[in-house]
Amino acid sequence: MNTDLTDKRSLLRHTVATLAYRGGKAVTNAPEGFDQFRLNEGTRTPGQILAHIGDLLDWGLSIASGQQKWHDSKPLAWNDEIARFHATLEAFDAYLASDEPLHAPEEKLFQGPVADALTHVGQIAMLRRIAGGPMKGENYYRAEIEAGRVGADQSSRRVEFD
Amino acid sequence: MDDRRKLLNHFLAALAYRTQKALRDAPEDFGSFRVIEGVRTPAELVRHMASVLGYARTFFVGGHYRPEALASFDEEIERFHEMLGLLAQHLRNGDALLEGMTEERLLQGPFSDAMTHAGQLALLRRLAGAPVAPENFIVAEIKEERLGPDQPRPASPDKIWPEAPKGWTSE
């Protein structure tokens, strides 16, 4: 790991960790069958949204490493897709943490794949509420989020509320 | 402005862009669209977004921020953009953060909250029967100084949109 990252690159890593924390919360303990929940034709299911987030993170890594490519993946079983979500975060974060050059500015990586993924996490959270399995609210600024912590094992010390 | 604050400023600009994308050309009554009881309407979401950003601002100016409901959706949108501008000004000025707040915590808390809600606005557009066309956001013309409602059209709209409503054609 490069211990001398630029401030922007470090903050981008923190955003990726935020995505892991918030995304992990949105997909954990979802109601049975939630991945297939569809409000109407033309809306994505949570399973499709989560697969799309994985594709966005793969895309982000490909841009960062200078070999941009896009791939539409088919949704996996929900728990497998959650595992893929964290695996793609880990791969992206590992690159950001390395000595390798970024082939796009941090701003572009943020405004594209990372911000997109955050918006989709918000959509999964809203769909949980609509599906009758809302998440608890949380004061996220107090959450124990740290760069590099992007796996499924996120802090359980949370300031949550109903 | 230090680099971390530059990136936070860019975050706010991306938020302005994505929010306007979700609101542009919305149906007349979109502000009051309620998908089911217990889920915020777009007007309530935009007010909440102003609220979380106003909360972020209290870490520069102190005090509390609890916005009242405004008479129209347009006014809610205007206030949201005003709050983006005020917050960005603190970042540009290099104003000190209070109560132990850090740039990282601003990002993981209120800034990211607002971004997730921008995604919810887009979802509500779709549920209201007027979805927003996809684009390649990495080439979007997002500028740090551009925080108001006057945001550019997509630089690279998608040519293929599998979930497109009937009659949609790529620009």
In tens, the pLDDT along A75-108 reads 999 999 999 999 999 999 999 999 999 999 999 9
Q: Which two structure tokens, joined as six digits, stand for B100?
A: 């132990």
Q: How far is the C-alpha of A28 from the C-alpha of A23, rounded, in Å?
A: 9
Hey, are the CB atoms on B104 and A11 less than 8 Å from each other? yes
Mean pLDDT calculated for residue range B39-59: 98
pLDDT at position A1: 67
Asked if A22 reaches chain B (Cβ–Cβ under 8 Å), the answer is yes
Q: Is A38 on the interface with B (CB under 8 A)?
A: no
**Contact criterion met (CB < 8 Å) for B107 and A18:** yes
* A33-47, A110-124, B43-57, B72-86: least confident range: A33-47
Burial A71-107 (b: 16+ CB within 10 A, else e): eeeebbebeebbebbbbbbbbbbeebbeeeebebebb
Predicted ipTM of the assembly: 0.96
* Whether residue B12 has pLDDT greater than 70: yes
d(CA B171, CA A63) in angstroms, rounded, equals 25
Residue A42: pLDDT band (50, 70, 90) is confident
B117: chain A residues, CB-CB within 8 Å: 122
Tell me if residue B157 falls in helix, strand or coil: strand
**A contact test, residue of B111, B123, B127, B160 with most A CBs within 10 A:** B123
Mean pLDDT, range B63-77, rounded to an integer: 97
Contact criterion met (CB < 8 Å) for B117 and A43: no
Closest residue in B to A18 (Cα) is B108
Residues B67 and B54: beta-carbon distance below 8 Å:
yes
Q: pLDDT band at residue A36, thresholds of 50, 70 and 90?
A: very high
Token representation of residue B86: 């005020």
CA–CA gap between residue B65 and residue B51 (Å, rounded) = 7
Vertex A35: Cα angle to A77 and B42 (nearest 5): 150
- Pick from A14, A108, A111, A127 the residue to mutate for testing the B interface (most B CBs within 10 Å): A111
Residue of A18, A42, A125 with shortest CB distance to B108? A18
Which positions in chain A touch B143 (Cβ < 8 Å)?
none
List the one residue out of B20, B5, B142, B2 whose CA is nearest residue B87: B5
Alpha carbons A141 and B128: distance in angstroms, whole number: 32
The span from the CA of B6 to the CA of B151, in Å, is 19
Distance from CA of A24 to the nearest CA of B (A): 14
Confidence of residue B167 (pLDDT cuts 50, 70, 90): confident
DSSP summary character for residue A112: I
- Residue A102 Cα, gap to closest chain B Cα (Å): 14
With an 8 Å Cβ cutoff, is A127 touching chain B? Answer: yes
What pTM value is reported for the model? 0.97
Q: What is the mean pLDDT of chain B?
A: 96
| For residue B125, pLDDT beyond 80 | yes
